[in-house]
Amino acid sequence: MAYFDAASSAPLHPVARQALQASLDEGWADPSRLYREGRRARLLLDAAREAAAEAVGCRADELAFTSSGTKAVHSGIAGALAGRHRVGRHLIVSAVEHSSVLHAADAHEAGGGTVTQVAVDRAGAVSVPAYADALRPDTALACLQSANHEVGTEQPVAEVAAVCREAGVPLLVDAAQSLGWGRVEGDWSVLTGSAHKWGGPSGVGLLVVRKGVRFAAQGPVDERESGRAVGFENIPAIVAAAASLRAVQAEAAQEALRLRELAERIRARVPRLVPDVEVVGDPVRRLPGIVTFSCLYVDGEALLHELDRAGFSVSSGSSCTSSTLTPSHVLKAMGVLSEGNVRVSLPFGTPAQDVERFLEALPRAVTEVREKLGAPVTETAVRDDVLVVDSLGKRCPIPVIELAKVIGEVPVGGIVRVLSDDEAARLDIPAWCEMRGHEYVGEEPAEQGTAYLVRRVS
């Protein structure tokens, strides 16, 4: 079985396993106690903090360990906003942030604050001028991920941090995806990370607050972790997290070259091997091991199951499945296809032969899913010189398949009106038009669902 989902959770690094086992016998006591066992635990905790701080590029007393990366994000955003409440309650986030950031933004807005979402381009990147334009006199905090978790696109963190610094606004960076590859450059103010993303154990997060940043921890606090994270420290896991972070960063330069070559192999060959595929994400400014692509006329959940049966563990950047029927917020913000979406994220040490086997298995998997999906019976009618496709009650990719089947039945310049009540169609139909060179006219209300208008161009 080839595991290609490191962006969700990386396999436990050998150094993490060794450090975890070695510290179990010494790190069980309360590090705040002065007796021998407590002092041993404190030495382990302090050493781990020093090691993690060196890897991040901060002072040891600026770094706190939390119970998860999500907890670090929530605590970081809440504390930074509270620390600057006299300035205002305006928060800036990008449209492609991790859900932990967006959930925190929703909670802030529900509590009376205001939120501005900065749009991204089709590669998933924000523009520095867009962040500059979003800044206001009452802006308390801006957030920007270092790299996207679904498509791998790296963000211009250093440039955005400079703009924010000039305006006197702190920038919180979610560095969960990139920290294993190296330090985050730029004059950021707050940074978060998650150990299981770089091969450490789950249940350990990092929260870094630079000296001089106004920060007020929210909720009940205690004496641990400078009051920024409550609860008894899981010292063995923390030691393993810090040790593995240093280990993967030491390997990162050499491994990045190797994984980037393997990822480029996938990016280049998938469109040649499988028809009607869109590779998404920035082709240059991206993390080394992530490749994301979308297949027309394929249900993403079915394709993931087919690849699993073929021996490959991949994920989807899209949550457009039978359980949610909701397209990924990242793909939606980018304006790219959400159907049949596959994210391949290669862990450290991925053999080249596993990638070759994947490229051999993928065309068969896509073909089988498309055949199982079948060609649905399309209900069409001509009304006022417009071809109407009734796809009500049918999940994507069915509405797109039906559109593709009938587009040739209208003359060049003719209109196809697709009726759909699947939210994913709002993203997939315009993306299909861009791929196939037809004009997406727009949408209009219908008696049921929404009508999407497409004009045949050629």
* pLDDT tens string 323-337: 454 678 999 999 998
- CA separation, residue 170 to residues 45, 132, 179, 447 (Å): 28, 13, 20, 48
Neighbour-count burial of 172, counting CB atoms closer than 10 A to its CB (0-12 exposed, 13-18 middle, 19+ buried): buried
Neighbour-count burial of 206, counting CB atoms closer than 10 A to its CB (0-12 exposed, 13-18 middle, 19+ buried): buried
pLDDT of 382 over the 60 cut: no
Q: How confident is the model at residue 322 (pLDDT cuts 50, 70, 90)?
A: very low
Mean pLDDT value across residues 285-310: 93
Structure tokens given for 436:
């196939």
Q: How many helices (H) and strands (E) does the chain have?
A: 12, 17
pLDDT of 51 over the 50 cut: yes
**Per-residue pLDDT tens over the stretch 409-457:** 888 888 999 999 988 898 889 988 988 889 999 999 888 899 999 999 9
Mean pLDDT value across residues 80-105: 97
Mean pLDDT value across residues 385-412: 86
Pick from 21-25, 151-155, 320-324, 333-337: least confident? 320-324
Mean pLDDT value across residues 298-327: 78
**Residue listed under structure tokens 């079948």:** 374
CA–CA gap between residue 68 and residue 207 (Å, rounded): 10
Q: What is the crossing angle of helices 300-309 and 352-373, to 10°?
A: 130
In the chain, what are the helix, strand and coil shares in percent, each to the nearest 5? 40, 20, 40
CA nearest 20: which of 182, 180, 202?
Answer: 202
Calculate the average pLDDT of the chain: 92
Q: Is 320 a catalytic residue?
A: yes
What's residue 383's pLDDT?
47
CA–CA gap between residue 240 and residue 195 (Å, rounded): 9
Q: What is the crossing angle of helices 99-110 and 69-83, to 10°?
A: 40
CB 249 within 8 A of CB 29: no
Q: How confident is the model at residue 317 (pLDDT cuts 50, 70, 90)?
A: low
CA–CA gap between residue 125 and residue 76 (Å, rounded): 23
Q: Which residues contact 34 (CB under 8 A, 6 or more apart)?
A: none
Helical spans, DSSP H, in 274-351? 300-309, 329-334
Q: What is the crossing angle of helices 235-273 and 352-373, to 10°?
A: 60
Return the number of other C-beta atoms located less than 10 Å from residue 89's C-beta: 18
CA–CA gap between residue 293 and residue 342 (Å, rounded): 6
Neighbour-count burial of 25, counting CB atoms closer than 10 A to its CB (0-12 exposed, 13-18 middle, 19+ buried): exposed
Strand-pairing partners, residue 291, are: 344
Q: One of 58, 295, 320, 433 is an active-site residue; which one?
A: 320
